[in-house]
Amino acid sequence: MKIRWFGHSFFLVMSGDKKVVFDPFDATVGYSLPQVEADLVIVSHDHFDHNNVSLIKGHPEIIKEPGVYEKDGIKIKVFSTFHDEVGGKKRGRNNVSRLELEGMSLIHTGDLGMIPSDEEISSWKPVDILLLPVGGVFTIDASAAQKLVSKLSPRIVIPMHYRTKYIQMEISTVEPFLRGFQEVKKLNS
């Protein structure tokens, strides 16, 4: 499995000849728009920085709703959560997606804005790879993200949705989240 991060919450997951995209953004986010082809596009919610499905080449199937799906041997479960801590009253709903492929599970939490109940979190397990927002304001912040990592115990965590030199939203950088861990590996793009 290969995972490529294009910035913000936009990822491409490749397994063999299968390609899955999560949360493609539009040009207003600040990152360059990549040329990407995929078999499947999963959108956590319909905000401009997560739902630019027209960017993706090919004829991908698009998943935007909670449910259980299977596409070319990839099992997908989409869980409904909230984009804020007050039951969606500020920013609406958010989908958390769990893929099973190559004997591993990968979860993309979209713009998760609250810590789900222990029962909900239990239904997401086991988690090998966790793609998790850490920037706060529009999502959970570094402290809440650290608590969720503790509850899920993934083997690998890839932080997302934080401020960089390309994205100037009033959200935090990744550093406060990383300070909560001893083993951090930074990869060059």
Distance of alpha carbon 138 from alpha carbon 153, whole angstroms: 24
* The one-letter amino acid at 20: V
What digits encode the pLDDT tens for the residues 48-59?
Answer: 777 899 999 999
The pLDDT-based confidence of 82 (bands split at 50, 70, 90) is confident
Domains and CATH numbers, the chain: 2-178 (3.60.15.10)
Q: What is the mean pLDDT of the chain?
A: 92
DSSP state of 124: H
- Asked if residue 80 lies in contact with residue 68, where contact means CB atoms within 8 angstroms, the answer is no
Statement: the pTM of the whole predicted model exceeds 0.85: yes
Map residue 156 onto helix, strand or coil. strand
Angle at 150 between CA 75 and CA 74, to 5 degrees: 10
User: How high is the pLDDT of residue 83?
Assistant: 76
The pLDDT-based confidence of 186 (bands split at 50, 70, 90) is confident
The mean per-residue pLDDT over the stretch 110-116 comes to 91
Flag whether pLDDT at 105 surpasses 90.
yes
Distance of alpha carbon 75 from alpha carbon 68, whole angstroms: 8
The pLDDT-based confidence of 189 (bands split at 50, 70, 90) is low
The mean per-residue pLDDT over the stretch 42-67 comes to 90
| Pairing assessment for the beta strands 40-42 and 61-63 based on DSSP bridges | parallel
For residue 76, the surrounding DSSP H or E stretch is strand 74-82
